[in-house]
Chain A
Amino acid sequence: MLDTVKEFASEFFVTGDPLILGAQVSIALALVAIVFVLTYFKKWRWLWTEWLTTVDHKKIGIMYIICSILMLFRGGVDALLMRVQLAVPNLEFLHADHYNAIFTTHGVIMILFMAMPLMFGLFNIIVPLQLGARDVAFPFLNSLSFWLFFAGAMLFNLSFVIGGSPDAGWLAYPPLSGIEGSPGVGQDFYIWGIQISGIGSLASGINFVVTILKMRAPGMKLMKMPMFSWSVLASSVTIMFAFPILTVTLFLLFLDRYLGAHFFTVDAGGNPMMYLNLIWMWGHPEVYIVILPAFGIFSEVVATFSKKKIFGYKSMVFALMSISFFSFFTWAHHFFTMGSGANVNAFFAVTTMIIAIPTGVKVFNWLFTMYRGKLSFPTPMLWAVAFIPCFVVGGMTGVMLSVAPADFQFHNSYFLIAHFHQVLIGGVVFGYFAGLYYWWPKMFGFKLHEGLGKWAFWFWNIGFYVCFMPQYALGLMGMTRRFNEYNFDMGWQPLNVVSTVGAFLMGIAFIFQVWQIAHSIRFLKKDNSGDNWGQGRTLEWSTASPAPFYNFARIPQVVAQDDWWEKQQRRERGEAEPAEVAAAEAAPLEPIHMPKNSGIPIIMSGFWFLAGFGFVWDWKWMIVLGLAGVAVTMLARSFNYNDDYYVPVEEIERIEAAAARGAN
């Protein structure tokens, strides 16, 4: 009996690595600590009613952001481990297996479990406020999306301590990721972790398209909509068209591994190259899904801190939508070396170059917005300004990579690594940081400490260039990705040491940010007035910070692009409000129709997690239990007709009065 338990445990848990043992112990301790604190302070009920079952888009957004910051930490530690290993030739720090697992999880976590939730977090918190709506179109579905993401992320991260991490690269190319190349369970964790969270992402995409198309405040025509919301629309439409391809691709890989199908095997007619095509038909749009909202954030931040309307509004909209469209026609540039022939490569080279045009339009628009603006440089604006040169260099190296014959040299070298980190960090991460700093007071009612924020900013920026500029050179010197060792005589060491130093500078920058958040909470300076920067332009600044759960006591009447700014201008000039605005503001308060909290999303996601875990280990009873649970919770939702309520006028009056007192 004891022996079978021992045998099971040695297969179930990852054993024999001191680094991982340390992680297992600290995870166990952290869990115990969390349970203890919640029990000691009697916070379980509060946690359940206020957070876990909430359908409030602002709280869901905050949960997304907390998860993404935790994932940024894990992905960042992975990166630092890799940089340590590469700093010295032939270092015996990470063995090949461990190194493979780490670059795989680093990639997956940073894109799917860091960038995506940070993006959805900002979508959630800001879009309904910007549109003058009370919530997203489908609040229940929104909560379900979050919990599916959470279940998927936990399943993926669990592989680190239970069963073993996936190690076939972040996109898991077969035949390596097939059952013969990867017989362990790591790859199954990969498939189910991403599959479950992917369903959530798809649902979010639909949710935000409906929200933006149908829930805008009266008077907000599409061409008066704030630029961030436009970018969310572009990104969400891209999600709708791209994510089903991911679902199918992972499902086919699962069938190959689980039922012995032959989609991507090298025998019985399978075609591994088809996987590359399919995964990049999702994967290339995916990088545009995460960058487009960053473009939207920059447009908001640059306009606000230049005190000017965004330059070239229509061309911005056109650029967003055309990038979204062309993103579906460039996928093969990820494997020019596959051998599809000159004509195919030429087509994808040209489409890739075409994307640079709308992107260039946007860069010029941001520059012209700043031109002759009344500029100020608080932290959000610093990130936006730092983004521009960084992204231009990243974009230009992208155009170099798009030249198919040259790509035969660049392919899989550190030149490529440097390129995509430059657009993903310099574009996506800088953009989301700008958004996080800019909207932080809207989320929590206080600003983050500026001084520490500037330290973090400079460490990030300098660290970034120190880390990645040498990698372009290393790539041209012949260093390829995904190797954990190189010899002294390659001459790569000096630049690798520089790159590692840069990575640690970024690590220090992250510590500054954590310190900044802790410091700002410790020395809290509450500022509940809506317009925390004093020069906000769009509707989110017209309601209190943080916004009441119903967002707006009266749905605003919009008359202009940058409606809130225009309203302030009218006030300064002493002009009367337009008739429809005056009427909307004088209207008596009415009961507000709101969705009720629901425990079904978290429970359903728990069953999805069970089903996924069952598939990973091929435990039939758990698969059946999980899937049956999913079906039952879905039916429970269908049969529940009591999912909404009205907030009475007295309560709205009370909350509004309290907010007005807090603002003074």
Chain B
Amino acid sequence: MAQAHSHSHSHDHGHHDQESLKQFGFWLFMITDVILFATLFATFIVLRDNTASGPVGADLIEMNGIIISTFILLTSSFTSGLALLSMNKGDKRGLILWLAVSALLGLSFIYLEVNEFIHLVHEGAKISTSAYWSAFYTLVGTHGLHVSIGIVWMTAIIIQLAKRGITPVTKRKVNIISLYWHFLDAVWIFVFSLVYLMEVM
């Protein structure tokens, strides 16, 4: 399998090909994830006016918190970029440090999101309140779930980096998690614009 698509019968049976295959596979996975979010966005757009005479986002959402969490997530995307730069310089300590910073920023984003949800539920906007809120919680929550999974994943990679250092395998893993992290950032831009800015502003 190692030399499957190489043009020469090289004697290098190492991991290089396998790693690039996995990276390509992850790009394809992200296409499927784009479709997943696209379906949720479409659902939200179809249902955004179906509020069943209940509260809407403009009544309850506090934009300051949303703007803060947006900046936190954007910053974490930036720090995960810094982690990649450290990796390419072979700086293991810097890599781990910046990955940890990214994960912590992600964690505070999730903390703010959970708080926001609790606040909204207190104000009487539950997932069962109306189609509007069903679509809202599902779209925003699915993004949050992705970020949460990313945090656990990033932590696992940090532990592996600490144990094994920068190898072709761990390098591929960092590349993939950083792709995923930037992707979630991009999705958030759309969530922020469509769900928050256009609803509230």
Q: Does B bind A?
A: yes
Residues of A within 8 A of B (CB): 133-135, 137-139, 202, 205-207, 209-210, 213-216, 218, 240-241, 243-245, 247-249, 251-252, 255-256, 259-263, 265, 267-271, 274, 278, 555, 584, 587, 590-591, 593-595, 631, 635, 638-639, 641, 646
Query: Which residues in A have their C-beta under 8 angstroms from that of B164?
Result: 641
B4-38 interface bits toward A, Cβ cutoff 8 Å, 1 = contact, 0 = none? 11110101010000000110110011011101100
Q: 5 pairs across A/B with beta carbons < 8 Å?
A: A139-B1, A206-B29, A268-B129, A274-B43, A638-B153
Query: Which residues in B have their C-beta under 8 angstroms from that of A210?
Result: 21, 24-25, 28
Q: B25 is contacted by which of A202, A207, A241 (Cβ under 8 Å)?
A: A207
Query: Which residues in A have their C-beta under 8 angstroms from that of B46?
Result: 271, 274
B134 close to A261 (CB less than 8 A)? yes
B131 close to A268 (CB less than 8 A)? yes
B21 close to A270 (CB less than 8 A)? no
Q: A263 is contacted by which of B11, B33, B43, B129 (Cβ under 8 Å)?
A: B43
A635 close to B50 (CB less than 8 A)? no
Question: Closest residue of chain A to B46, judged by CB?
Answer: A274
Which residues in window 35-68 of B have CB below 8 A to A? Answer: 35-36, 39-40, 43, 46-47, 50-52, 54
- Tell me the complex Cα distance, A274–B33, Å: 20
Query: Which residues in A have their C-beta under 8 angstroms from that of B132?
Result: 269
B interface residues, how many (CB within 8 angstroms): 49
- Tell me the complex Cα distance, A265–B127, Å: 13
Asked if B72 is at the interface of the complex by the 8 Å CB criterion, the answer is no
B31 close to A270 (CB less than 8 A)? no
Question: Closest residue of chain A to B157, judged by CB?
Answer: A638
B10 nearest CB across to chain A (Å): 10
B32 close to A590 (CB less than 8 A)? no
A138 close to B3 (CB less than 8 A)? no
A243 close to B22 (CB less than 8 A)? no
B7 close to A218 (CB less than 8 A)? yes
A262 close to B32 (CB less than 8 A)? no
A262 close to B36 (CB less than 8 A)? no
B1 close to A214 (CB less than 8 A)? no
A263-B135, A269-B51, A591-B13 in contact; A244/B21 too (CB < 8 A)? no
A244 close to B36 (CB less than 8 A)? yes
Query: Which residues in B have their C-beta under 8 angstroms from that of A256?
Result: 134
B28 close to A267 (CB less than 8 A)? no
Query: Which residues in A have their C-beta under 8 angstroms from that of B157?
Result: 638
B40 close to A635 (CB less than 8 A)? no
A210-B28, A260-B128 in contact; A215/B35 too (CB < 8 A)? no
Query: Which residues in A have their C-beta under 8 angstroms from that of B200?
Result: none
Query: Which residues in A have their C-beta under 8 angstroms from that of B160?
Result: 638-639
Asked if B75 is at the interface of the complex by the 8 Å CB criterion, the answer is no
- Tell me the complex Cα distance, A588–B93, Å: 44
A269 close to B25 (CB less than 8 A)? no
Query: Which residues in B have their C-beta under 8 angstroms from that of A267?
Result: 52
B149-169 interface bits toward A, Cβ cutoff 8 Å, 1 = contact, 0 = none? 000110011011000100001
A267-B52, A269-B131 in contact; A244/B32 too (CB < 8 A)? yes
A214 close to B21 (CB less than 8 A)? yes
Question: Closest residue of chain A to B22, judged by CB?
Answer: A138
Q: Nearest 6 A-B pairs (CB), nearest first?
A: A269-B50, A269-B131, A260-B128, A261-B134, A593-B2, A244-B35
- Tell me the complex Cα distance, A591–B137, Å: 53
Asked if B130 is at the interface of the complex by the 8 Å CB criterion, the answer is yes
Query: Which residues in A have their C-beta under 8 angstroms from that of B40?
Result: 248
A206-B28, A248-B39, A269-B51 in contact; A263/B131 too (CB < 8 A)? yes
Asked if B86 is at the interface of the complex by the 8 Å CB criterion, the answer is no
A55 nearest CB across to chain B (Å): 10
Query: Which residues in A have their C-beta under 8 angstroms from that of B43?
Result: 248, 252, 263, 274, 278
A209-B28, A641-B164 in contact; A133/B128 too (CB < 8 A)? no
- Tell me the complex Cα distance, A138–B20, Å: 12
Asked if B70 is at the interface of the complex by the 8 Å CB criterion, the answer is no
B131 close to A270 (CB less than 8 A)? yes
Q: B11 is contacted by which of A265, A590, A635 (Cβ under 8 Å)?
A: A590
- Tell me the complex Cα distance, A641–B18, Å: 13
Query: Which residues in B have their C-beta under 8 angstroms from that of A243?
Result: 32
Query: Which residues in B have their C-beta under 8 angstroms from that of A214?
Result: 4-5, 21, 24
A262-B128, A274-B46 in contact; A138/B25 too (CB < 8 A)? yes
Q: B52 is contacted by which of A207, A240, A268 (Cβ under 8 Å)?
A: A268
B130 close to A262 (CB less than 8 A)? yes
- Tell me the complex Cα distance, A241–B43, Å: 17
Query: Which residues in B have their C-beta under 8 angstroms from that of A202?
Result: 32
Query: Which residues in A have their C-beta under 8 angstroms from that of B169?
Result: 641
- Tell me the complex Cα distance, A138–B26, Å: 11
Asked if B138 is at the interface of the complex by the 8 Å CB criterion, the answer is yes
- Tell me the complex Cα distance, A594–B13, Å: 10
B126 nearest CB across to chain A (Å): 8
Query: Which residues in A have their C-beta under 8 angstroms from that of B29?
Result: 206
- Tell me the complex Cα distance, A135–B135, Å: 42
Question: Closest residue of chain A to B137, judged by CB?
Answer: A261
- Tell me the complex Cα distance, A209–B3, Å: 18
- Tell me the complex Cα distance, A591–B7, Å: 18
Query: Which residues in A have their C-beta under 8 angstroms from that of B51?
Result: 269
Query: Which residues in A have their C-beta under 8 angstroms from that of B13?
Result: 590-591, 593, 646
- Tell me the complex Cα distance, A244–B138, Å: 15
A255 close to B134 (CB less than 8 A)? yes
**Sample of 5 further A-B pairs with CB below 8 A, known A274-B43, A646-B13:** A213-B24, A255-B134, A268-B52, A639-B156, A641-B164
